[in-house]
Structure 1
Amino acid sequence: MDKKKVVVPLVCHGHSRPVVDLFYSPITPDGFFLISASKDSSPMLRNGETGDWIGTFEGHKGAVWSCSLDSNALRAASGSADFSAKLWDALTGDELHSFEHKHIVRACAFSEDTNLLLTGGVEKILRIFDLNRPDAPPREVDNSPSSIRTVAWLHSDQTILSSCTDIGGVRLWDVRSGKIVQTLETKSPVTSAEVSQDGRYITTADGSTVKFWDANHFGLVKSYNMPCNVESASLEPKFGNKFIAGGEDMWVHLFDFHTGEEIGCNKGHHGPVHCVRFSPGGESYASGSEDGTVRIWQTGPANNDENDTQNSGNGPTGKVKVAADEVTRKIEGFHIGKEGKSGEKDKAADA
């Protein structure tokens, strides 16, 4: 990619506060989908290809720090500063269940088989909820050395990954024993941890470093110094030959996985980049920022080179534009979120 080439992103408006987490669904028979978490308390669901807004999940009373979709994109989950994690119907927008916690929930993740929901947060406790029995007490693993920042599943739901807010390292937990079996050492707290689509690598961002770990033997495969402190990194899922990183300089950087050479640098955000994620097919990637927008960038050269203005994905104040017939089923019946935010929500959002 020519660094001088201006890359035009799809700009997805709608959030009124910083966007702090993004998650792409796998490719489903209905396409693929993108969910975003924001301090405005209202996660949003979008068409992952076009960025078009599908709906808003209404119900949290504080900042939403984490969001996820199950493997079929039929259910969504979110973790919030209102001391709850919520399970949503991704077809209708209905709240299916609210899992109450005793402090802020910073991270949540569906298991690969979609039967379990993992949460973590300020309580330093990993909780595993059985979604087939949502009213049952969760299984708790409570030996985290500090407040939990990120969580993920690997090894066909046999292992849990977690990182902490204020100490370095990634901890790998054996689900059966509830014990830490391995710690991946980092100097700074890990702000982003992603398991690659093929299960081979764990991609972490800590301070100004992006690292790639062998997800089966836990050795460090590659470590690259970044041009600034980065908050998030993601590996291209199809070929594994590129990765992206975003952070405090407001740019979204694209790198060669094998050499660490920067091969692209995209600017458009007006605040630090808090989260970056590749789409499941690797043809595009999304970034979320302090500026309240989600931007979707094409991995390769843009098809419409003559366009010199930023394209815009539909926000919640416009009509939903359906780019593909199969998405219609998902949109029908989805509860449309309120355009305005209540004063109570604004006060709670910074919690």
Structure 2
Amino acid sequence: MRPILISCHTRPVIAVKFNKDGDLFFTGSFDGKVSVFWSEPVERLGTFACDGAVKTMTVTEDSKYIVIGTAINGIFIFEVETGTKVKTIEFSSKIHVRDVEFAMGSQQFFMISYESDEKKQSVVYIYDFESVLNREQPSRRDLVRRDRDHYYRGVWGYLNKTIVLGTQNGIIDVVDTKTGELLLSHRAHVNQITSLAFSPDFSMLITASRDCFAKLLDPETLKEIRVFNAQRPLNSAVISPLMLNEGSPKYHCLVAGGQEARDVTTTATDQGGFEITFYNMIFEREIGSVRGHFGPVHSVAVHPRGHMFVTGSEDGTARVHILDQDYFTPAYD
């Protein structure tokens, strides 16, 4: 498998994401830019320029709009087709965006922020997207606030009824999206939760953490189903959509990370843990790994059809990996 190297950013690539149909993917970087590409063939289409380091992004289901969250300069909304900036939601310098994600249907999105004022809280807001586009003051509501152990990552639950939130100390909270009531809370890790992702059918939740573990959880109870010891700090974990393949399902997950960026110069590339590792979710067995990056991998995104994936790294590059036909044989089940 020979990857396609994308080198269009000048700083670390912090986020990569496919749209719902899989015909486009996006790369976001600390250089303040998000680039959009055709996925097949891989071809760069354009760039969205923001004022500030990109931290997170989310795309509407029809791929008409992209919402980009930056570290300290607020949220930027662009039309994907034209590249036109349609809205900027500005905050004070004490509000830092951690995560944004559209709900199913793209009528609303949440924002996780850290407010570094006297209270030092993390707050989850829910925005009505129509009001964001059409009103000067968009409609939003505070869903939940948390002191001390702040929220870092989130993901919408099944049918938008809940939001699953991960904290800096490894706790997972499940919150009702209408009332803000805390429905479940579970300490899944002993360090920061860096990634939360559901399987395509919402039957499983996978987490990644700086404690070197990825865990497969039951979304209804947060009970641990499987534990994967990657032996390196993790930044991203995803479940392959091929688990729903009727012909020959592949119950695989991908995890990625690596040692802290500040330590990279003192460690050989093959010892930094910068590879992307495939695990069998049934047997907790490592199937294989893909190398190439020479810095920690910040984000992994899998195509909705499962035949390719994209990675973004501290080294400032993204890589597109198209899986060989051998992968689809029973040898890799």
Residue 156 (structure 1) aligned with residue 180 (structure 2)? no
TM-superposition CA deviations, 1:95-144 (whole Å, max 9, x none): 12112233111110011110112111222111111111113341112422
| 2:129 aligned residue (128, 131, 143) | 131
Give the conservation status (yes or no) of the 8 Å contact 1:12–1:52: no
Distance 2:39 2:284 in 1: 27
Distance 1:142 1:34 in 2: 31
Where does residue 267 of structure 2 map in the other structure? none
Matching of residues 34-113 of structure 1 within 5 Å? 34-58=25-49, 60-102=50-92, 103-113=95-105
Residue 241 (structure 1) aligned with residue 251 (structure 2)? yes
Residue 177 (structure 1) aligned with residue 171 (structure 2)? no
TM-superposition CA deviations, 1:159-216 (whole Å, max 9, x none): 112222x311121110111122112322221101112221111110012111111223
Matching of residues 146-295 of structure 1 within 5 Å? 146-164=149-167, 166-186=168-188, 187-206=190-209, 207-239=211-243, 241-248=251-258, 249-295=273-319
Residue 114 (structure 1) aligned with residue 106 (structure 2)? yes
Stretch of structure 1 that moved more, 133-142 or 70-79:
133-142
Alignment length (residue pairs):
292
Pairwise CA RMSD: 1.8
Distance 2:311 2:220 in 1: 28
Structure 1 letter corresponding to 2:235: E
Give the conservation status (yes or no) of the 8 Å contact 1:11–1:296: yes
The secondary structure found in structure 2 opposite 1:133 is helix
Give the conservation status (yes or no) of the 8 Å contact 1:84–1:105: yes
Distance 2:206 2:14 in 1: 18
Where does residue 266 of structure 2 map in the other structure? none
Distance 1:22 1:180 in 2: 30
Give, in angstroms, the shift of residue 49 of structure 1: 3.5
CA 50–213 in structure 1, closer or farther in 2 if over 3 Å, else same = farther
Give, in angstroms, the shift of residue 227 of structure 1: 3.0
The secondary structure found in structure 2 opposite 1:162 is strand
Give, in angstroms, the shift of residue 302 of structure 1: 7.5
Give the conservation status (yes or no) of the 8 Å contact 1:8–1:302: no
Distance 1:20 1:65 in 2: 7
TM-score (normalised: structure 2): 0.83
The secondary structure found in structure 1 opposite 2:145 is coil
Give the conservation status (yes or no) of the 8 Å contact 1:32–1:49: yes
Distance 1:214 1:300 in 2: 31
More helix by percentage: 2
Distance 1:184 1:251 in 2: 29
TM-superposition CA deviations, 1:290-334 (whole Å, max 9, x none): 01111111233479xxxxxxxxxxxxxxxxxxxxxxxxxxxxxxx
CA 193–241 in structure 1, closer or farther in 2 if over 3 Å, else same = same
Give the conservation status (yes or no) of the 8 Å contact 2:25–2:38: yes
Give, in angstroms, the shift of residue 17 of structure 1: 0.5
Structure 1 letter corresponding to 2:61: S
Distance 2:81 2:108 in 1: 19
Give the conservation status (yes or no) of the 8 Å contact 1:73–1:90: yes
Distance 2:171 2:24 in 1: 30
Give the conservation status (yes or no) of the 8 Å contact 1:234–1:276: yes
Structure 2 letter corresponding to 1:71: E
Distance 2:129 2:225 in 1: 35
Distance 1:131 1:97 in 2: 11
TM-score (normalised: structure 1): 0.79
CA 220–49 in structure 1, closer or farther in 2 if over 3 Å, else same = farther
